[in-house]
Amino acid sequence: MSTTPLPEEVRRRATSEGAALYTAPNGRSYVVVCWQGAMRVFVNCCPHRQLPLDGGGRLYFTADGSLLCCANHGAKFHPLTGLCVAGPCAGKGLQRVPALEGSAMPLP
């Protein structure tokens, strides 16, 4: 697992757009979520079929912006806990990466 600090560009994009993708120097892909002033980092892998959450490099939220969606099968995740609250993997969760969260403070 990478312990490289998150680049400012990734934190800025997550702050402005609600979420951003980050590929670490080791090649692993992460989802950085900024929601209600807090940031979380998750492995970019849906627990349903172990596919990335993004679709074509883009992350999606529900229409009201309250849940992160898997672009592949529509699973919906709470943005701070990573828990799947609806969809084919309900009750399972995204793998959180606290080691990267220390460098994931929202930017003004």
From 17, 18, 12, select the one nearest 105 (Cα to Cα). 12
Q: How many domains does the chain have?
A: 1
From 47, 60, 52, 59, select the one nearest 29 (Cα to Cα). 52
Residue 60 is assigned to a structural domain of this protein? yes
Q: What's 14's domain CATH number?
A: 2.102.10.10
pLDDT above 70 coverage of the chain, percent: 90
**pLDDT tens per residue, range 25-63:** 889 999 999 988 889 999 999 999 899 999 888 899 999
pTM to 2 decimal places: 0.88
Residue 89 is assigned to a structural domain of this protein? yes
Question: What is the Cα–Cα distance from 43 to 32, expressed in whole angstroms?
Answer: 9
pLDDT above 90 coverage of the chain, percent: 66
Residue 58 is assigned to a structural domain of this protein? yes
Residue 3 is assigned to a structural domain of this protein? no
Residue 108 is assigned to a structural domain of this protein? no
- Strand 29-35 and strand 38-43: the pairing is antiparallel
Residue 28 is assigned to a structural domain of this protein? yes
- The domain in which residue 38 lies consists of 8-101
